[in-house]
Structures are given as C-alpha cells and as structure tokens.
Amino acid sequence: DLPLDEIARLEKLDGSEINEAKKILANEATALCHGPEAAAEAAETARRTFEQGEAASGLPTVEVAAARLEEGIVLFEAMREAGLAQSNGEARRLIKGGGARVNDEAVSDEFRQVTNTDIGGEGVIKLSAGKKRHALLKPV
C-alpha cells in the first residue's frame, strides 16, 4: 500500500533517480503478489547481484556434474541448460553480440569452455545474459 503522496513523488523523478522508483515499485509489486518476506528476500538478492556483483544465493541454480566441468561445457550449451537461452542458436547469438558473461566478465567466444577453473569462491559459476538475467552453475 503505497501512499498517494509517495506515488506523486516517484512520478516526478527523472534521469538516474528513476532507478529508485523502479526499486520501490518492484518491492511493492512483489509484496502484493508474494508477501512481504518474499519482497525483502528479492530486494536483498537484487541488491547483492546488481549493486555488489555477487553471485547471490537467490539466483536460479542449475546443478551440473563435476565431471562435465572437468571436461568443459561449451558456453552456449551451458547458457541454454541454465535457462538463459531457449536454444543453442539463441545462446550463440547472445554471446557473439556481447551479451554474455561468465562470473561478470564479458565473453564473445561462443566456443569458450566453462570448466572447474571458473568456479568462484562461493562454489558456483555465475552466467549472465544481458544485465538482468543471471543463473548459477553448481557442480555436484
């Protein structure tokens, strides 16, 4: 329940200030649909992911066999398996277009291998498609 005066204030924001409005509205919408606890958890995940660049635990996680990471998984296949692309072709276009990242580092080689050397300090590999879609690969 956002007060009308707060809505009026948010309507007047422009430029970089509009991000504040987006955060507030996203939090309110999540609270209405899923409850205040889910909204708080989503806000924390977003803050850690987008503001601190962490591989937040609230991100979608896909388990992969450790043996596959030993051999290496072609990035476009990993992105499809992680749900960041509908097909290998879509993933390849995303990578070639500069929209793919592994652990927040841009990747343009569609045949790059994702291996156990990519596992970060949190025990996962963070894959990103664009600025707002992320998933974690967790070796098992």
- Whether pTM exceeds 0.85: no
Q: What is the mean pLDDT of the chain?
A: 87
What residues does CATH 3.10.290.10 cover in the chain? 61-139
Which element (helix H / strand E) includes 6?
Answer: helix 4-11
Options 1.10.260.40, 1.10.1580.10, 3.10.290.10, 3.30.70.1900; CATH of 61-139 = 3.10.290.10
Tell me: the pLDDT tens digits for 68-101?
Answer: 999 999 999 999 999 999 999 999 999 999 999 9
- DSSP string spanning 39-54? HHHHHHHHIIIIIS--
**What confidence tens digit (pLDDT) does each residue in 37-57 have?**
888 888 877 776 555 555 555
